[in-house]
Structure 1
Amino acid sequence: MRSLNLHLKVLITLLVVAGVLITGYQIFILGIPVTEDETEDLWNIDAKVEFQASPREPVKLQMFVPPLVQDYVSLHESFISNNYGVNVNRVDGNRIVTWSARRANGNQTLYYRLALTKRYSGEQPNPKGPIFRDSQIVEGAEKIAAEALLAPIRQHSADVETFISEAIKRVNNTNDDNVRLLLGGDASAENKARVVDLLLSIAHVPLERVHTIRLTSDQAQTPELWLRSFNGQNWLYFSPHTGQQGLPADRLIWWFGDSPLISLEGGRKAQVTFTLNNNEINAIRLAQRADETTDASLLEYSLYGLPLQTQQTYQIMIMIPLGVLVILILRNLGGLQTLGTFTPVLIALAFRETQLGFGIALFTVITAMGLMLRSYLEHLKLQMLPRLSVVLTFVVVLIAVISLLSHKLGLERGLSVALFPMVILTMTIERLSITWEERGGTHAFKVAIGTLIAATLAHLLMSIEELTYFVFTFPAVLLVLVGFMLAMGRYRGYRLTELFRFKAFLKD
């Protein structure tokens, strides 16, 4: 007996631990939303390319598009054009789209569209970079000015990060004569980045330009320049204006390097206009889209992988164990008497279609009339099978009559009575009549009321939309439910009704 108890405890522990671990993995590792109304940000970016094509010349336009390996997951990417060939290639860590056409005349418009989200991005690989480079050749006054700037930079820095930050700050001090000489009267961000690059090259520190788009609700956007360098372990990002280290979370990297955003052959006056908008999307729909468009297997082995019609069926079926749990608690702990364990649950399922109040009324009417017919058939001394057949036929006819009368009276809810399980109603009538014969009408009435109470409570629990979503999305919680049912299976204590029943003995 002791080994059996140990076996049961181990089994319960394994089921509960497995259910908790699987559910926790889905929530905390895969990031599947806990509630159905949870939303996430979805960014839509449009890059509109406009230019004038040269007559009788082939057109070839190339534009950088974002690398897909970063902190954002691309859900949809499209290249919109009319009579253009489209190719996407990877060059030096960048992605370049090429639109080409044999002939094009007049004003041309091309579109690049991207939808992305930060959720489900996961941990991205950290590519390596150079840690040393050769110096740029600089002579004359520029050399003297550069060396004059590098001396205090070396003095006020301790590592690569502080060296680059200090260099950027010095270059942005336009009151310094050495800085003004190196800038040559051009104080643009691009030119300042060129001077910073010059100073760092003399110190053999690699530097790379990074062009980003800021994810903001502002409609119009222009690429924003950042700088980055590899310190041997990580890439360090810097603002060319302030020397601030660290790329903000709302920046999307568009391309790396010194090359312009677009290059055009066979046309002129090319320009790119960025438009951004932000939408909130249901988090579970977002997970489904991430499954479809990326390699993420968030819901691959979940019930969301089933056809939609099958999903709707399983959303009802998967709640049956919770209804059974309600009946189990009411019977084993509360002492409520019902017509078995599963009959109240099946009646509760029927209430989903008829609604609770109307369903209870229809169930009461059909059961009462069926009991009267069953009592009449008992006087005819029929065998069980013919008797059940007559009762079943009567139930079908009664359901049809109620549906017809409801339709004539404009009570369309009455039509849903046809969805009641006719066999369940027939067996309920039969079992109630047997109980009436064996233990009297009072006990049969108590059992019928208990069955309705249990079915009502089970229906109320099974109809909670948030709970239905949670169990359907995280079905491993049913393992925890099974563990609880196994634990209740060894309960031998008093039921709640027995405490009232034996109250006098307890006092003695």
Structure 2
Amino acid sequence: MRSLTLHLKVLIFLLVSLGVAITAYQIFILGIPVTEDETDDLWNIDAKIEFQANPREPVKLQMYVPPLNQEFVSLNESFISNNYGVSINRADGNRRVTWSARRASGKQTLYYRLVLTKRYSGEQTKASGPIFRDSIPVEGAEKIAAEALLSPIRQHSADVETFIGEAIKRVNNTSDDNVKLLLGGDNSVSNKARVIELLLSIAHVPMERVHTVRLVSELQQSPELWLRSFNGNNWLYFNPDSGQQGLPTDRLVWWTGDEPLLSLEGGRAPQVTFTLNNSEMNAIRLAKLTDENTDADFLEYSLYGLPLQTQLTYQVMIMIPIGVLVILVLRNLGGLQTLGTFTPVLIALAFRETQLGFGIILFTVITALGLSLRSYLEHLKLQMLPRLSVVLTFVVVLIAVISLLSHKLGLERGLSVALFPMVILTMTIERLSITWEERGAGHAFKVAVGTLIAATLAYLLMSIPQLTYFIFTFPAVLLIMVGFMLAMGRYRGYRLTELFRFKAFLKD
């Protein structure tokens, strides 16, 4: 007995642990939303390119577009132009689109449109980058000024991260004579980045320029320059103007390197205008879209991977254990008497079609009339099988009559009574009549009321949309429920109804 108890405890522990672990993995690692109402941001980015084409010359315009690596995933990308060929090339971690035309004249307008969202899943690839670089040649006064700045930078830094941060701080101190000399009167962000790169190169610290777009609903904006350096494990991002460290989550890396965003041959005066707007989409729908576009395993083994019609069926089926759990608690802890365990659950499923109030009335009427017929057939001394056949036929006829009357009276809800499980109703009538004969009318009535109460509670719980979504999305919760059911299986204590029955024993 002790070994059996230990075996049961171990089994319960394993089931509950597995259910909790899988559910936690889906929520915290895969990022699956806990509620159906959760939405995620969807960003629409428009890049409008305008330029003047030279007459009788071929046109070739190149523009960097986002690489869309681990942080974001593209849902739709389009290149809109008239009579232009389009091709995309990849180089040094960047993507570059090329528009080309044999002839063009006058003002030209091209569009690049991108719809993206944060990536839901997918393992982050291990970062890699250079950890050493050669020094940029510098002579004369610039060399002396750079070395004068590097001396305090080395003293106040302990590693690559603090070294870069200190260098940015020094360069932004434009009152320093050495900084003034190196900047040459140009205090723009790009020139500050050039001086920072010079100082870092003397210390053999590699640095890259990163051009980003801020994901915020603004009419227009221009790419923002950031700097990044690889410390051997991760990329470290720095704002060359403010010294802020760490790339904000609302920044999208558009391209890296020293080259400009646009390059144009056969035209002049190119300019690009960025326009962004934000919308929201249901989180699960968005997850399915990202899964289709990235070949990730996010939803591959979930119930959302099934055909839509099959999903609707499983959304009903997967709630049956919830109803069974309700009946188990009501019977084992509450002491409520019902017609078995599954009959109330099946009646609760029928209530999904008829709705609760109308379903209770129909169930009561059909069961009462069926019991009357069953009582009459008992006087004919028929065997069980013929008797059940007559009752079943009577139930079918009764359902048809009720549906017809409901239709004539304009009560369309009554038409759904045809979806009631006729066999369940027939067996319910048969079992109630047997209980009536064996235990009396009072007990049969009590069991019938208990069955209706249990079916009503099960229906109310099984009809909660948030619970249906949660169980369907995280089916591993059923393992936790099985563990609870196993624990309930060894309960031998008093039921709540028995506490009232034996209340007299508590008196002095």
Correspondence 1:241 to 2:241: yes
> What is the DSSP-based 3-state SS (H/G/I as helix, E as strand, rest coil) of the residue aligned with 1:220?
coil
The code of the aligned residue for 1:298 comes to: F
Q: Answer whether contact 2:134 2:202 (CA < 8 A) is retained.
A: no
Q: Residue 115 of structure 2 aligns with which residue?
A: 114
Q: Answer whether contact 2:373 2:391 (CA < 8 A) is retained.
A: yes
Q: Residue 207 of structure 1 aligns with which residue?
A: 207
Q: Residue 433 of structure 2 aligns with which residue?
A: 433
> What is the DSSP-based 3-state SS (H/G/I as helix, E as strand, rest coil) of the residue aligned with 2:285?
helix
Of residues 470-479 and 369-378 in structure 1, the stretch that sits farther from structure 2 once superposed is: 369-378
- How much does 1:129 deviate? 1.4
Q: Residue 126 of structure 1 aligns with which residue?
A: 127
The code of the aligned residue for 1:309 comes to: Q
Tell me: CA distance 1:449–1:112, structure 2 relative to 1, closer, same or farther (3 Å).
same
Q: Answer whether contact 1:72 1:121 (CA < 8 A) is retained.
A: no
| TM-score normalised over the length of structure 2 | 0.92
Q: Residue 387 of structure 1 aligns with which residue?
A: 387
Give the gaps of 5 or more residues in structure 2: none
Tell me: CA distance 1:121–1:221, structure 2 relative to 1, closer, same or farther (3 Å).
farther
Q: Residue 358 of structure 2 aligns with which residue?
A: 358
Q: Answer whether contact 2:211 2:253 (CA < 8 A) is retained.
A: yes
Q: Could you give the per-residue CA deviations for residues 103-144 of structure 1, whole angstroms, max 9, x where no partner exists? A: 4454232223131215546545211214231332x4455445
- How much does 1:44 deviate? 2.4
Of residues 497-506 and 188-197 in structure 1, the stretch that sits farther from structure 2 once superposed is: 497-506
- Equivalent residue pairs, number: 507
Tell me: CA distance 1:403–1:267, structure 2 relative to 1, closer, same or farther (3 Å).
farther
The code of the aligned residue for 2:370 comes to: G
> What is the DSSP-based 3-state SS (H/G/I as helix, E as strand, rest coil) of the residue aligned with 1:127?
coil
> What is the DSSP-based 3-state SS (H/G/I as helix, E as strand, rest coil) of the residue aligned with 2:194?
helix
Tell me: CA distance 1:487–1:65, structure 2 relative to 1, closer, same or farther (3 Å).
same
Tell me: CA distance 1:14–1:202, structure 2 relative to 1, closer, same or farther (3 Å).
closer
Q: Distance in 2 between matches of 1:67 and 1:478?
A: 41
> What is the DSSP-based 3-state SS (H/G/I as helix, E as strand, rest coil) of the residue aligned with 1:488?
helix
Q: Could you give the per-residue CA deviations for residues 5-53 of structure 1, whole angstroms, max 9, x where no partner exists? A: 2222222222122112111221222221112212223322222223334
The code of the aligned residue for 1:371 comes to: L
- How much does 1:460 deviate? 1.1
What is the correspondence of 1:100-249 to structure 2 with a 5 Å cutoff? 100-106=100-106, 107-117=108-118, 119-120=120-121, 123-136=124-137, 138-150=138-150, 153-154=153-154, 157-249=157-249
Q: Could you give the per-residue CA deviations for residues 155-212 of structure 1, whole angstroms, max 9, x where no partner exists? A: 5555444443444344434445554444444332222322333343344433321111
Tell me: CA distance 1:52–1:475, structure 2 relative to 1, closer, same or farther (3 Å).
same
The code of the aligned residue for 2:26 comes to: Q
> What is the DSSP-based 3-state SS (H/G/I as helix, E as strand, rest coil) of the residue aligned with 2:12?
helix
Correspondence 1:481 to 2:481: yes
Q: Distance in 2 between matches of 1:83 and 1:242?
A: 44
**What CA RMSD, in Å, does the superposition of the two structures yield over aligned residues?**
2.5
Tell me: CA distance 1:441–1:214, structure 2 relative to 1, closer, same or farther (3 Å).
same
Q: Distance in 2 between matches of 1:356 and 1:455?
A: 10
What is the correspondence of 1:26-425 to structure 2 with a 5 Å cutoff? 26-106=26-106, 107-117=108-118, 119-120=120-121, 123-136=124-137, 138-150=138-150, 153-154=153-154, 157-425=157-425
Q: Answer whether contact 1:75 1:294 (CA < 8 A) is retained.
A: no
Q: Distance in 1 between matches of 2:415 and 2:54?
A: 70
Q: Distance in 2 between matches of 1:83 and 1:400?
A: 67
Q: Answer whether contact 1:131 1:232 (CA < 8 A) is retained.
A: no
> What is the DSSP-based 3-state SS (H/G/I as helix, E as strand, rest coil) of the residue aligned with 2:98?
strand
Q: Residue 22 of structure 2 aligns with which residue?
A: 22
- How much does 1:222 deviate? 0.5
Q: Distance in 2 between matches of 1:87 and 1:95?
A: 10
Q: Distance in 2 between matches of 1:143 and 1:11?
A: 73
Q: Could you give the per-residue CA deviations for residues 44-81 of structure 1, whole angstroms, max 9, x where no partner exists? A: 22222233344444333221112222433444433334
Q: Could you give the per-residue CA deviations for residues 275-320 of structure 1, whole angstroms, max 9, x where no partner exists? A: 1122233222232222222243222111111111111111111111
Q: Could you give the per-residue CA deviations for residues 422-477 of structure 1, whole angstroms, max 9, x where no partner exists? A: 11111111221222222222221111111101101111111111111111111111
Q: Distance in 2 between matches of 1:331 and 1:80?
A: 66
| TM-score normalised over the length of structure 1 | 0.92
